[in-house]
């Protein structure tokens, strides 16, 4: 990968410094390379060395039509998704002209490494950004590289470093999960559908718990146990929940006899009605999760990151101010805030809510709603098919509640270590 850094001196000024090569940083670099080609302005993508705590590998899923920008590196895709209710009822959702796509972070990183090699303006810097100073006309970054300190000047900075503290909120829950990549001797999975939510697991008093299953073949799958609650579980609790889900619900047997665990994935995603800043200086923007790209009610982030990255890349290439567009519409955030409040108070059970959502709404409306692309009329229809009274009560209550400090550590950093 083309890499350039000049320890101890000032590096060449760049038009854009992209801080962090996770989903948001990689996506922005890719959209710039796609749109700009040889005319891409000078852009530095800065990520610490793996040994210094760079992002752990993860998988990202989202839905979009075939022929998307990452299709060449998409690991697997499905034409159908599925939800199981607590009583085992099954809701199959045909995606029609959409596909549910699974992308591995290592594959996106490899794609962007090729972009960097092929695009003269793009360069990659291995190092941790330790300071960003906003200024008039340009910003300044300090980067701690394996070869020494580097000072970089950039017209614009796009910062995707996870925030240490979540902003003040009325409600903050976490979507937390551990997944096992499993391989079974006997054919055990239906590769035709990804299971988004399987509520056939014990439900907590507040929030929700469910299985998530991405079948890679009849013999291989990523099987996750997910909770929506105020705090993550311990490693032992996740493993016990996964043992129960794989053994008792999926009937796979035990990890040693019925199937083999070939890898794990774990994470914590904030579900919060906090307000995230997109602009933190004249020249400095936040992108990705730390810029509010996560949809509070679902944890889905990747599709929003794509919309924002594309808009930012277009603006940069056209020489316009590259303020990232609002990640979510105000009314979607209001609905999500009401749902979080309803879940947190226990007025609405997560399993009941999502069973109704998936069971009562037609596929197109449902997917547009989850993606934040639904019309007001569709949202009213969704609202009327959800538990109306507890949701209305939660909604009415929101203006009376103050946003308060969460006081927790950044959730991704606070996640239990992977095995």
CB of 4 to ligand FAD, least distance (A): 16
Q: How far is the CB of 124 from ligand FAD (least distance, A)?
A: 12
Q: What is the side-by-side order of every strand in the sheet holding 99-104?
A: 59-64, 99-104, 76-78
C-alpha gyration radius of the chain: 22
Q: Which residue is nearest to ligand FAD (CB)?
A: 22
Q: Between 164 and 401, whose beta carbon lies closer to ligand FAD?
A: 164
| Shortest CB 271 distance to ligand FAD, Å | 11
Q: What is the dihedral of CA 50, 54, 57, 60, to 10 degrees?
A: -150
CB 391 within 8 A of CB 348: yes
Which of 22/207 has CB closer to ligand FAD? 22
Tell me the HSE value of 98 on the side-chain side, using a 13 A CA sphere: 21
Q: How many CA atoms lie less than 13 Å away from 205 in the CB half-sphere?
A: 1
Query: How far apart are CB 212 and ligand FAD at their closest, in Å?
Result: 9
* Spatial CA neighbour of 243 closest among 286, 201, 289: 201
Q: Minimum distance from CB of 69 to ligand FAD (Å)? A: 15
Pick the closer one to ligand FAD by CB: 190 or 265: 265
* Residue 2 C-beta: closest distance to ligand FAD, Å: 18
State whether residue 202 is helix, strand or coil: coil
Angle at 403 between CA 397 and CA 405, to 5 degrees: 140
User: 143 or 391: whose CB is closer to ligand FAD?
Assistant: 143
Cβ proximity to ligand FAD, 344 vs 371, nearer residue: 371
Please give the helix or strand (H or E) that residue 384 lies within, else none: helix 376-384
Give the nearest distance from C-beta 5 to ligand FAD in angstroms.
13
Two tokens at 9?
């001196």
Distances in whole angstroms, Cα of residue 140 to Cα of each of 16, 49, 221: 11, 21, 45
The conformational region for residue 24 under phi > 0 = left, psi -120 to 50 = alpha, else beta, is alpha
Min dist CB 130 to ligand FAD, Å, is 7
> 229 or 394: whose CB is closer to ligand FAD?
229
d(CA 8, CA 5) in angstroms, rounded, equals: 9
Query: Do residues 28 and 18 lie in contact, with contact meaning Cβ atoms separated by under 8 Å?
Result: yes
Cβ nearer to ligand FAD, comparing 302 with 353: 302
In 79-184, DSSP assigns E strands to 80-84, 90-94, 99-104, 122-126, 128-133, 139-145, 148-159, 172-184
Rounded least distance, CB 251 to ligand FAD, Å? 25
DSSP classification of residue 169: B
- Is the Cβ of residue 58 or residue 360 nearer to ligand FAD in the bound state? 58
Closer CB to ligand FAD, 228 or 300, in the complex: 300
Q: How many CA atoms lie within 13 A of 161 on its CB side?
A: 18
Residues that bind ligand FAD (CB under 6 A): 19-25, 46-48, 54-55, 58-62, 128-129, 160-162, 265, 267, 269, 288-289, 299-302, 412
């Amino acid at each position: 990968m083309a890499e350039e850094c000049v320890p101890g001196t000032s590096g060449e000024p760049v038009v854009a410094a992209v801080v962090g090569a996770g989903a948001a940083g990689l996506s922005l670099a890719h959209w710039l390379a796609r749109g700009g080609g040889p005319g891409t302005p000078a852009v530095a993508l800065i990520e610490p060395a793996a040994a210094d705590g760079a992002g752990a590998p993860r998988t990202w899923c989202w839905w979009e039509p075939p022929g998307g920008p990452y299709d060449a590196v998409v690991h697997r895709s499905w034409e159908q998704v599925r939800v199981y209710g607590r009583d085992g009822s099954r809701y199959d959702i045909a995606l029609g002209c959409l596909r549910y796509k699974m992308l591995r972070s290592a594959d996106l990183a490899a794609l962007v490494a090729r972009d960097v090699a092929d695009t003269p303006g793009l360069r990659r810097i291995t190092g941790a950004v330790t300071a960003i100073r906003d200024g008039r006309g340009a910003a300044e970054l300090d980067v701690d590289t394996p070869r020494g300190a580097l000072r970089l000047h950039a017209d614009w900075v796009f910062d995707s470093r996870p925030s240490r503290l979540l902003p003040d909120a009325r409600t903050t829950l976490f979507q937390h999960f551990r997944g096992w990549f499993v391989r079974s001797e006997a054919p055990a999975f239906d590769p035709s559908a990804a299971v988004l939510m399987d509520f056939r697991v014990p439900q907590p008093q507040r929030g929700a718990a469910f299985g998530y299953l991405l079948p890679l073949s009849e013999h291989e799958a990523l099987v996750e146990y997910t909770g929506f609650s105020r705090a993550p579980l311990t490693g032992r609790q996740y493993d016990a929940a996964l043992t129960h889900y794989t053994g008792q619900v999926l009937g796979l047997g035990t990890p040693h006899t019925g199937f083999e665990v070939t890898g794990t994935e774990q994470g914590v995603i904030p579900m919060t009605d906090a307000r995230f800043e997109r602009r933190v200086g004249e020249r400095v923007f936040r992108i990705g999760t730390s810029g509010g790209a996560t949809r509070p009610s679902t944890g889905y982030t990747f599709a929003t990151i794509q919309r924002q990255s594309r808009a930012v890349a277009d603006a940069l290439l056209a020489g316009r101010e590259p303020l990232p567009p609002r990640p979510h519409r105000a009314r979607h955030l209001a609905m999500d805030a009401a749902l979080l409040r309803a879940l947190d108070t226990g007025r609405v059970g997560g399993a009941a809510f999502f069973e109704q959502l998936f069971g009562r709404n037609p596929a197109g409306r449902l997917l547009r709603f989850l993606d934040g692309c639904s019309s007001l009329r569709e949202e009213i229809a969704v609202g009327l098919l959800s538990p109306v009274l507890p949701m209305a009560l939660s909604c009415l209550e929101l203006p009376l509640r103050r946003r308060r400090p969460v006081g927790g550590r950044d959730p991704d950093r606070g996640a239990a270590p992977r095995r």
